[in-house]
Chain A
């Protein structure tokens, strides 16, 4: 479920799990608990970044790390695709999403608004009997 709800997957999951145990208070506490440490680490790293990014070597190293980060997002998508083993409908939906965003350059809001109903229709139409 966390995969298909909009928003940060891990945070959404912690909202639902917190609610199961302690209601709304459980949700609030678990979101706070999951965010506070990363935010504090982030502030430290961000301060280091603003102090040193103008040094050419730091900038070049981060450009390398940025390329790595882009590769990791692609790999995440490929991993999900391998796990999903999409049928014809699945491949069509994936292809339409990539085409609409990268080739047609549609804004993501419109892509999502158009793609969700399209995906439901394709999935029903091409469902294996």
Chain B
């Protein structure tokens, strides 16, 4: 049998993160990384970032990083518990808000809440990205790759998967040519 203490830990940690994820999954990535790496010691930063890279290749909602962490620490049951814990609280809230939204949409209070909360989401996502940038650091090549990818997303319309693959190849080339060894 699977270790139930890990499963209940997954459920507790991720359902809590679920309800504070204003701005979506990207906004809670630093909290997720902090819990999984610094508090629970389930993996190190390098492993967490590698898993995150795997979920970026996966099509669909980016909430699957939670599923993959669950899979890594407790197999299939971990994946299911992690995914449900992350989705259920926020989905229930969205369901309720969705039911009342048609009543309040367009009122000044609703617009005010939106005007106030979108910058919160933006701030949390930017902080999340910078936290991951720090966690991804493996020598001087890392900030160069990060800057190149920011520019790629902002200034081109190509599928981000190309940039992911190019970055993987550049990392290989830089490492084995000895230009920028990744530690």
Interface size on A, residues (CB 8 A): 81
Per-residue CB contact flags for chain A residues 52-96 toward chain B (1 = under 8 Å, else 0) read: 010001011111111111111111111111001010011101111
- For the complex, is B60 an interface residue (Cβ under 8 Å from A)? yes
B116 touches A65 (CB 8 A): no
Q: Which residue of A lies closest to B162 (CB)?
A: A68
- Residues of A near B16 (CB, < 8 A) are 109
Interface size on B, residues (CB 8 A): 102
Chain B contact residues: helix, strand, loop or mixed: helix
Q: Can you list 25 contacts pairing A with B, beta carbon distance less than 8 Å?
A: A4-B118, A5-B90, A6-B18, A6-B90, A7-B21, A9-B61, A11-B63, A11-B90, A27-B95, A38-B60, A42-B58, A45-B54, A46-B72, A57-B172, A59-B50, A62-B50, A63-B138, A67-B138, A71-B129, A71-B146, A75-B129, A78-B150, A81-B126, A119-B117, A123-B115
Residues of chain A at the chain B interface (Cβ within 8 Å): 1, 3-13, 15-16, 19-20, 24, 27, 31, 34-35, 37-39, 41-43, 45-46, 49-50, 53, 57, 59-81, 84, 86, 89-91, 93-98, 101-102, 107-109, 111-112, 115-116, 119-120, 122-124
